[in-house]
Amino acid sequence: MSVVAVLKGGRSLERQVSLQSGARVEDALERLGHEVVGIDVGHDLVRRLREVGPDVAFVALHGRDGEDGTVQELLEVVGIPYTGSGVSGCVRASDKVLAKHEMRDAGIPTPDGLSFNETAFKELGAADALGAIEERLGFPLVVKPADQGSALGIKFAASAADVPAALVAAFSYSSKVLLERYVHGHDLAVSILDGVALPVVEAVPVDGLRYDFAARYTIGRTRFECPAGLADETTIRAQELALATHDVLGCRGFSRVDLMRDHQTGELWVLEANAIPGLTDTSLLPQAADAAGIGFDELVGRILALAARAGPGP
């Protein structure tokens, strides 16, 4: 059995979720017989890692620092094997814009989107192009911070009048924003574990069949079905797209890919991939694993084993 450092918390806006993921992972690792040291990631991370000298680090961080490759880079430098994606996979997956370009180039269907940083609006007069931007994407459209993992800062613009405030909101979280065509339909999430796509989770609005943007982000107004009640070919296609996305972005070990299913055409669109999806008791990856007969402890054990196999450094 090994000494495992569980990296959790950190300074990102998803700190609370990460602490919950981390606590749950720690419990599982202890049950699996490992010696577990929890590290709330802060300015003393490198010192703590050297003190503890773990055999492997379990990265249970979400959002900035943890999911964008920063902590992974440090772990490479210190020479500690770690769970999940490497630096390059994290960098590509955590940047929604970069990820969109990678997917588009690889022929993976992803909703049309445009990205700008604050400078474009402050110094390059991008505001003058808003009309053309809106014409290309159509309404409604979605405005997202480019590198924010949670629902914070994601705004729905029904018309041109909503766009400026939506942009200001998104720029509160990131210096780069993505304007994306809105797909009317249900969210699907496909988790990948060790090269295999797990059963599809579908988010179903509780208040009937209204495809309501607000409901997607309101706790209690959406329930999650796993396995999703989809036609077999849709399930297979969603799983294929998720695996392709995981590979194109260079994710390693596990990830969760989010898709939309257009409720009129049935088309599937990949929105993004999460290199370190949540591992709390309401998170989707554990639900999908459960549906595949993989309990939480086994899930954690397998993620850990994949890290050890990958070994330190590239």
Partner 1 sequence: MTVDDPGGRPGRDTAAARPRDRPRSRASQSDLERYAGLFAERTRNMRSSAMRDLMALTQRPEVISLAGGLPDTTLFPAEELAKHLSVVAAEAGARALQYAPTEGLSEVKRAIREVLRAEGDDADPEDVLVTTGGQQVIDLVCKTLVNPGDVVVAEAPTYPGAVPAFAAYEADVVQIAMDADGLRVDALEERLDALGAEGRSPKFIYTIPNFQNPAGVTLSLPRRRRLVEVARERELLILEDNPYGLLRFEGAPLPTLRSLDGGEFVISLGTFSKILSPGLRLGWAVAPRPVLSKMNIGKAASDLNSSSLTQLFVATFFRDGDWRGYVAKQCALYRARRDVMLASLEEHFPPGATWTRPEGGLFLWVTLPDGLDTTDLLAKALSRNVAFVPGRAAYLDGRGGASLRLNFSGVGEDDIREGVRRIGAVVHEQIELLDRLTGRRPAAPAPAEALSPAPDPTLADVLELRRRAPDPRRPQRGSSSP
Residues of span 110-149 touching partner 1 by CB under 8 A: 118, 121-122, 127-128, 130-131, 134, 142, 144, 149
Q: Which of 168, 196, 236, 308 binds partner 1 (CB under 8 A)?
A: 168
Is residue 35 within 8 Å of 244, Cβ to Cβ? no
Task: Say whether 223 is catalytic.
Answer: no
User: Radius of gyration (Cα) for the chain, nearest Å?
Assistant: 19
Tell me the C-alpha distance between 259 and 270, whole Å: 4
How many CA atoms are closer than 13 Å to the CA of 252, on its beta-carbon side?
A: 24
**Tokens 């590979």, residue located:** 247
Q: Which of 224, 250, 267, 312 binds partner 1 (CB under 8 A)?
A: 224
Task: Say whether 274 is catalytic.
Answer: yes
Is residue 310 within 8 Å of 253, Cβ to Cβ? yes
CB neighbour class for 237 (10 Å; exposed up to 12, middle 13-18, buried from 19): middle
| Size, binding site for partner 1 by CB under 8 A | 76
Which residue from 91, 120, 247 is spatially nearest to 178, judged by alpha carbons? 120
Q: One of 217, 221, 267, 297 is an active-site residue; which one?
A: 217
Q: Which 3 state secondary structure label does DSSP give 242?
A: helix
Contacts to partner 1 from residues 184-223, by CB under 8 A: 187-189, 201, 203, 216-222
Instruction: Lay out the site mask for partner 1 across 76-115 (x = CB under 8 A, - = otherwise).
Output: ----------------------------------------
284 binds partner 1 (CB under 8 A): yes
85: alpha, beta or left? (left if phi > 0; alpha if psi -120 to 50): beta
At closest approach, how far in Å is the CB of 311 from partner 1?
29
15 binds partner 1 (CB under 8 A): yes
Which residue from 198, 175, 88, 154 is spatially nearest to 99, judged by alpha carbons? 88
Task: Say whether 174 is catalytic.
Answer: no
Q: Which of 6, 20, 49, 301 binds partner 1 (CB under 8 A)?
A: 20
Q: One of 258, 261, 283, 301 is an active-site residue; which one?
A: 258
At closest approach, how far in Å is the CB of 147 from partner 1?
12
Q: Residue 265 or residue 282: which is nearer to partner 1 going by CB?
A: 282
Residue 127 identity: A
Cα 85–Cα 6–Cα 297 angle in degrees, nearest 5: 85
Q: Which of 297, 302, 305, 312 binds partner 1 (CB under 8 A)?
A: 297
Task: Say whether 211 is catalytic.
Answer: no
Tell me the C-alpha distance between 145 and 97, whole Å: 10
Q: Which of 2, 23, 104, 237 binds partner 1 (CB under 8 A)?
A: 23
Active site residues: 14, 150, 217, 256, 258, 272, 274, 278
